[in-house]
Structure 1
Amino acid sequence: MATAMGNENAAMEETTESMPSDPEAVSEEDKKRADEIKEEANVFFKNEDYTNAIDKYSKAIQLNPFVAAYFGNRSFAYLRTECFGYALNDASKALNLDKNYLKAYYRRASANMALGKFKLALKDFEAVTKVRPSDKDARTKYNECNKICKRIAFEKAIASDDGKCLADTIDIESLVIEANYDGPHLQDGTVTLDFANALIEAYKEQKKLPKKYVCQILVQAKKLFCEQDSLVYIDVPPKAKFTICGDIHGQYYDLLNIFQMNGKPSEENPYLFNGDFVDRGSFSVECIMTLLTYKLLYPKHFFMARGNHESLTMNQMYGFEGEVKSKYSSQLCELFTEVFNWLPLAHCINKKILVMHGGLFSNDNVTLDDISKTYRNKQPPDSGIMCELLWSDPQPQAGRAPSKRGVGVQFGPDVTARFLELNKLDYVVRSHEVKNEGYELMHGGKCITVFSAPNYCDTMGNKGAYINITGDDLTPKFTSYESVPHPNVKPMAYANPFFGLF
């Protein structure tokens, strides 16, 4: 999951030592100035410049921390930058100041929804409907959230407990390919180079792969991932080139641009894609199927790691589930989930570079062996090694802090240094966050972020990037690039309708 550019956790949190502790201590002049700054923030927010909006709301709060709307507005801006932990915190602060400030209930509920905490969200929506029983908007939001909670409860109740997976029971041979299909064909059920090349061209023209072929690729990919440990070791020979890519998020035409610039995957041109292949962008099916095709074609030279968006809750909210249902069926959603559950959690290159989607850990004792032994065939938990590998973020200051996302942890340069020393590594590479140039070096160059979805969601204006290394020179070399045109399908086109209510 991407978040706002920069390090707002360090620069934008109010400094409590300099804030008044008593409403009576706030001068009329400071109240007036705070309100003026809040209006400036609103303009930034309206123009979708959320980073500057957060900065301005924070300054207004420093001058007068007793206005619920300042926290409520900043909570909304944090929601838009996917800092759900900060959004939750601000919404709760707003309600502590004014329990009747209904927008704060909405903000807190939205953050909980985004984190998949639907029951907590339902409580806040219920609180609003009790205060305003005739409010149609409040009732609509409550009903939508309630539907999700009931659906999850129903799916849990009917879930099979016999240990059988869809991949083991699906009757692929009964699936029929329509006679008028003119796209690429598997050869005896097997991916070939001709198939991979033809698939790219077919997807470029917005053609659809038959369900039978999709199922065959998914079942084969799951089998391949099941055979790998949670930590995969990669050996890059001397002088051999290796490429690391970050989040793709359903931006298929930008994925093709990477291959155009850097060459298609092959045994001589290996890749690692570091999670978040799907959601947000509306060509997620095309992205994940292309990547899985290359995984089957070059199993020892093409690598894929799990991101926080390769999870059921994220897919339900941010578009992948809706896209799969629109293009195929609910059954295929289940099969994709089974594949995602077996994606490796991290990769170690030449025993010197650790690559994971999110970041490091809440304690200093985690070893590569611990990562390798981490059980992963499940939905990501709210804490522990798996959670932190998928969700954590670096921070500029030393130590650790609660996550701005509400999940995982934020870790400083000292944490990175101790982890590298313990595990005899040179540096870590992670993704998970939008960066202006598509990459960023932190912690003295020992913690590198790479993000490969340019102009994220068609709004952020960022560049994408990828990293090249060679086996005898592990110094990262960065290539940044702009977004390319795509068919007129907006990001989040398949997202949960709930998002349209805000």
Structure 2
Amino acid sequence: MGSPPAEAVELKNKGNDAFKKQDWPTAVDFYTKAIETYDQEPSFYTNRAQANIKLEAYGYAVADADKAIALDPTNVKAYYRRASANTAILHHKDAVRDWKLVVKNAPHDSTAKLRLEQCNKIVKRDAFLKAIEVEDAPSAAEGLDLDNMIVDPSYDGAKLGNEMTLEFVEDMIERFKNGKKLARKYVFQIIITVMELVKKEPTMVEVDVEQGQEITVCGDTHGQYFDLMEIFRLAGKPSEKHMFLFNGDFVDRGSWSTEIALLLYAYKWLYPSKFFLNRGNHETDDMNRMYGFEGECRAKYNERVFKLFSESFSALPLATLIGKKYFVLHGGLFSDDNISLDDVRKLNRFKQRQPGQAGLMMEMLWTDPQTQPGRGPSKRGVGLQFGPDVTKRFCEKNNLEAIIRSHEVRMDGYEVEHDGKCITVFSAPHYCDSTGNKGAFIKIGPEYKLNFTQFDAVPHPDIKPMAYASNGLQGMI
């Protein structure tokens, strides 16, 4: 194998510069150009793999690592990248195989040893959880005597009775800003009440925007509580006339996930027919165990709180149809052109609590748009990608203006693609304190025009993202 030409090295160096500036998309572009100039240099692929990991394009990262390994089977960095990407998409057995190779070839790498140990623990834990899984397990709410549960005397906030009040919500907002927690009794009350509310909602909620009303659609908030406060400052808070839809991924990664989940649930209780929540791919057990929400629930409250949240997440609707014009769901469209809104309406989301690796629920939570026509493999390594022709056919078949989805960082906070038929909105600015993206939300009034607002991240207390992830993932992704 020869040395790469100077032109290719220069392109790689430009990619490295962009990477240092945390401009991951530009880094990928430069590494791609370097590969197009000279495709026999393993470091071009391992560098692009790392940039793809930063972009959560884990499937692409695995493919890049595969290529580097094919060129140089002794490339430790390539095994490291592949192991990192497979860990992130919960392919822990594949990750263990690669971490073993890294440790064997770099025996003094303490980080790799730690990753191997953690992955082995996760493989064992998953096997144990599968072994004890019961199909009709009793609710985590069983045996909770809320009526007689005492509120700790040290709790100094507003009291919660049998009805949610605006006073309680406003007090919650301030408590959370100041790093205080809710009384555990109230946490249980909120989750259980909202779980019963959302269980009664259809799999696809259908809502119209009447005269004098508006609805604000938000994408991923990922535990970034102080940025959620900025959304409410700019958009206005929920009310009977100001509806909201949060389109999944309220939790994980950001370290105020319990605060966001509890506040959104409190608003759902306060305005049950005006405040809507779609499930995201992070409202699932395996992601919550990996990306911090389970650890946060345990640290701030207890394991039962996580179990109740898990139950409630599996009851959330999967989509919302706004004015029969906009189909809003977290991920995207389907592997089969024959799927219609009626199929979504008929989908029994209670049949399986977790989305699994295939089927309509998985696709609704995981898929992404692509620029080329047709369908392609997922850049994430989970689900698939769908092209503009797929979106066009779906919208025509179902008389839709567009689909609105979230699930992906957009540097401008939102993106309109597929000839205006596919809109991505992402509401976690400066995602994970590292991406430099704007956040955005969409307002829709009775005329059903889309009005976009972009916003920047606001300061927050010095707690890092993924602070509660117990598996050391924060150092890897």
Q: Same fold (TM over 0.5)?
A: yes
Task: State the partner residue of 1:241.
Answer: 214
Query: After superposition, where does 1:190-339 map in structure 2 within 5 Å?
Result: 190-339=163-312
Q: Do the aligned residues in 1 keep the contact of 2:222 with 2:250 (CA within 8 Å)? A: yes
Alpha-carbon separation, structure 1, partners of 2:25 and 2:187: 40
Alpha-carbon separation, structure 1, partners of 2:88 and 2:111: 19
Secondary structure at 2:129's aligned position in 1? Answer: helix
Gaps of 5+ in 1: 1-22
Query: After superposition, where does 1:98-137 map in structure 2 within 5 Å?
Result: 98-131=72-105, 136-137=110-111
Alpha-carbon separation, structure 2, partners of 1:289 and 1:484: 21
Seen in structure 2, the aligned counterparts of structure 1 residues 137 and 290 have a Cα distance that, compared at 3 Å, is closer
Q: TM-score, normalised by structure 2?
A: 0.94
Q: TM-score, normalised by structure 1?
A: 0.90
1:379 to 343, 346, 354: 354
Say yes or no: does 1:468 pair with 2:447.
Answer: no
Q: Post-superposition shift, 1:458?
A: 2.1
Percentage of matched positions with identical amino acids:
49
Q: Post-superposition shift, 1:131?
A: 4.5
Seen in structure 2, the aligned counterparts of structure 1 residues 35 and 174 have a Cα distance that, compared at 3 Å, is farther
Q: Do the aligned residues in 1 keep the contact of 2:213 with 2:243 (CA within 8 Å)? A: no
1:82 to 44, 56, 73: 56
Q: Do the aligned residues in 1 keep the contact of 2:225 with 2:256 (CA within 8 Å)? A: yes
Q: Do the aligned residues in 1 keep the contact of 2:465 with 2:474 (CA within 8 Å)? A: no
Q: Post-superposition shift, 1:436?
A: 2.7
Q: Do the aligned residues in 2 keep the contact of 1:175 with 1:211 (CA within 8 Å)? A: no
Deviation readout 1:45-101 (Å, 9 max, x if unpaired): 233222222112111211221222221121111111100110111111111222211
The farther-off stretch of 110-119 and 37-46 is 37-46
The farther-off stretch of 396-405 and 123-132 is 123-132
Pairs aligned (count): 474
Runs of 4+ in 1 over 6 A off after TM superposition: none
CA root-mean-square deviation:
1.9
Q: Post-superposition shift, 1:160?
A: 4.3
Alpha-carbon separation, structure 2, partners of 1:161 and 1:310: 19
AA partner of residue 448 (structure 1) = I
AA partner of residue 158 (structure 2) = P
Deviation readout 1:363-401 (Å, 9 max, x if unpaired): 211111111222334212222221121111122222222
Alpha-carbon separation, structure 1, partners of 2:12 and 2:208: 53
Secondary structure at 1:429's aligned position in 2? Answer: strand
Secondary structure at 2:95's aligned position in 1? Answer: helix
Q: Do the aligned residues in 2 keep the contact of 1:141 with 1:501 (CA within 8 Å)? A: no
Seen in structure 2, the aligned counterparts of structure 1 residues 134 and 445 have a Cα distance that, compared at 3 Å, is closer
Alpha-carbon separation, structure 2, partners of 1:226 and 1:393: 27
Q: Do the aligned residues in 2 keep the contact of 1:118 with 1:145 (CA within 8 Å)? A: yes
Say yes or no: does 1:391 pair with 2:369.
Answer: no
AA partner of residue 431 (structure 1) = S
Seen in structure 2, the aligned counterparts of structure 1 residues 91 and 170 have a Cα distance that, compared at 3 Å, is farther
Task: State the partner residue of 2:458.
Answer: 484
1:422 to 375, 386, 397: 397
Task: State the partner residue of 1:38.
Answer: 12
Q: Do the aligned residues in 2 keep the contact of 1:184 with 1:202 (CA within 8 Å)? A: no
Query: After superposition, where does 1:332-347 map in structure 2 within 5 Å?
Result: 332-347=305-320
Seen in structure 2, the aligned counterparts of structure 1 residues 385 and 159 have a Cα distance that, compared at 3 Å, is closer
Alpha-carbon separation, structure 1, partners of 2:190 and 2:441: 26
Gaps of 5+ in 2: none
Deviation readout 1:20-68 (Å, 9 max, x if unpaired): xxx6xx7x6x533323322332232233222222112111211221222
AA partner of residue 73 (structure 1) = N
Alpha-carbon separation, structure 2, partners of 1:440 and 1:202: 34
AA partner of residue 344 (structure 2) = I
Q: Do the aligned residues in 2 keep the contact of 1:358 with 1:392 (CA within 8 Å)? A: yes
